Chain A
């Protein structure tokens, strides 16, 4: 347990604590399994340990073994945080792992840089709200919607995305969040039908919930399955598909409620 004087070879407890924190942070910011595995093993290698890692949807399990003395080993099971996609963390932590490997950074330095990385602020939620609304409105433009449809989609996304942000802050179940957000967006976009605004009200309805597309879980699941981490891949796929299904249910309910049977 006594740390080395220059701290270049940290104790096994210190290493497993730091590495499991890094792995959890990578998992909750949306890295795929292979990247987590490679980043963390690379860092363990540079500290003089060998690492085995299992990644599940809600927890990670890692065992590290000393290279000099194989009887010295430690296993840790750690709960991951709730998924909040943050690609700045993924790319910075990935760069940190290469730096650790190439420049042989010592333990304290790695720990310091890790805490610097995870204390970075996210982009302001209001900026995200505005930009996502513009993005969804131009989605409507891509589907050849007219100016009324584009305006409706902008307002619908503004309302729906705001509701989603508020509900996620209050830790409402994410399936409920997606359903109700899609429902509200669908109701607002359906107004084009009710009041006969413009010529393409169906395009407004079609593009108003596209901001829900769970792109990152979907692509991560395919990458995981291709690379052989089938179990994690399927867990992510089920997660992404349930979000898509909930979005569809929200839109479906809104459409039934508005009685758009002549669509």
Chain B
């Protein structure tokens, strides 16, 4: 793949991630500034993860890296707009939720339930565990990665709404 094509793909990816983040941010009723910040962070994060995966990194590790970057950046933005960091850190992670893997987990469960062929059933069980584990690890990477900054800088993350 040539570089301009890659950049175009990353930009489209980022825009779609931003739309997703706006939609999910707004259902938790944050302030207007926070919605914009979460759209920006989502575009940045998802574009970055797209790049990492394309350059050959494992999906859950790249998710963890991106989630902790988003966590740190959202602490920075929280300090700027005086708003708790978790207000926009979660919506900006939402585009990375492993929906497709979760769906495949359910699908292999249904197939396992409906089939009576022993050989095929072994394949379905493998699919179930592979997809289920991937879903679980991506979810863990997301939540642990994003709460890392709160863990590392507790004082700072509780005083972002302070102004004097």
Interface residues of A (CB under 8 A from B): 30-32, 34-35, 38, 85-88, 90-91, 94-95, 97-99, 102-103, 122-123, 127-128, 131-136, 138-139, 141-143, 202-203, 205-207, 210-211, 213, 215-216, 218-220, 222-223, 226, 248, 251-252, 255-256, 261, 263
Interface residues of B (CB under 8 A from A): 13, 16-17, 19-24, 26-31, 34, 46, 82-84, 86-87, 89-91, 93-95, 97, 99-100, 102-104, 106-107, 109-111, 114, 139, 143-144, 146-147, 150-151, 158-159, 161-164
Q: Nearest Cβ in chain A — how far from B37, in angstroms?
A: 12
Q: Which 8 A-B pairs have the closest CB atoms?
A: A135-B23, A206-B103, A98-B162, A87-B30, A138-B19, A94-B161, A138-B16, A95-B161
Interface of chain A, helix or strand or loop or mixed?
helix
- The interface residues of chain A lying within 8 Å CB-to-CB of B107 are 255, 263
Task: Please determine whether B17 and A95 come into contact, CB atoms closer than 8 angstroms.
Answer: no
Task: Report how far A27 CA is from B163 CA in the complex, Å.
Answer: 23
- The interface residues of chain B lying within 8 Å CB-to-CB of A207 are 99-100, 103
Task: Please determine whether B99 and A127 come into contact, CB atoms closer than 8 angstroms.
Answer: no
Task: Report how far A206 CA is from B93 CA in the complex, Å.
Answer: 18
- The interface residues of chain A lying within 8 Å CB-to-CB of B17 are 138, 142
With beta carbons under 8 angstroms apart, the residue of A123, A132, A138, A252 that contacts B29 is A123
Task: Please determine whether A85 and B106 come into contact, CB atoms closer than 8 angstroms.
Answer: no
